[in-house]
Structure 1
Amino acid sequence: MRILSWSALALGLAVGATISAPAHAQAYDPRYPVCMKIYEGGTYGGGGERIDCSFTSLPQCRATASGRAAMCDVNPFYAPPEPPPGYRRRHR
């Protein structure tokens, strides 16, 4: 019976820890077609990366990334603007 109660307690703690963990916001900005992934080193190999999606072209991003530990890529979440409402093509 003790094993069952300890197992239930451990399961409850594990589920509680995963539910209360903070969610990370989406890193990709869908308004821009190009993102730069910046690798940030830390002490003893720690560190991480962050994503900056504020570029309108690959050449613009590559110029900014030049000389840094970074790389540019197409934004997979880019949503191109829709055509203005009321625009129709005439058929002849």
Structure 2
Amino acid sequence: MRKTQLALGALVLAGLAGIEPARADYDYPWCIQGAAYDYPGDCSYQTREQCLASVSGRKGYCGQNPAFLLARPPLQPSPRGRRFPPA
């Protein structure tokens, strides 16, 4: 009986050792921002609509995640807007 309990205990401990805590390293484009939130805010929203629904009734506002704004490649000018002198 003791061997069975020891084996079962070892299995439970081995299973618990492999469990990792939930990861919270998300970085989505929309954040709840305001005085109640650290910079850049609660950036756990994929769309503006999700952010607006979550901020409803709370102090704060929705803003774009600054990390996403800085990570965007710069916009290239449209070739249609250029005019070349006649040759």
TM-score with structure 2 length normalisation?
A: 0.42
TM-score with structure 1 length normalisation?
A: 0.40
Larger proportion of strand: 1
Larger proportion of helix: 2
Larger radius of gyration: 2
Higher relative contact order at CA 8 Å, sep ≥6: structure 1 or structure 2?
Answer: 1
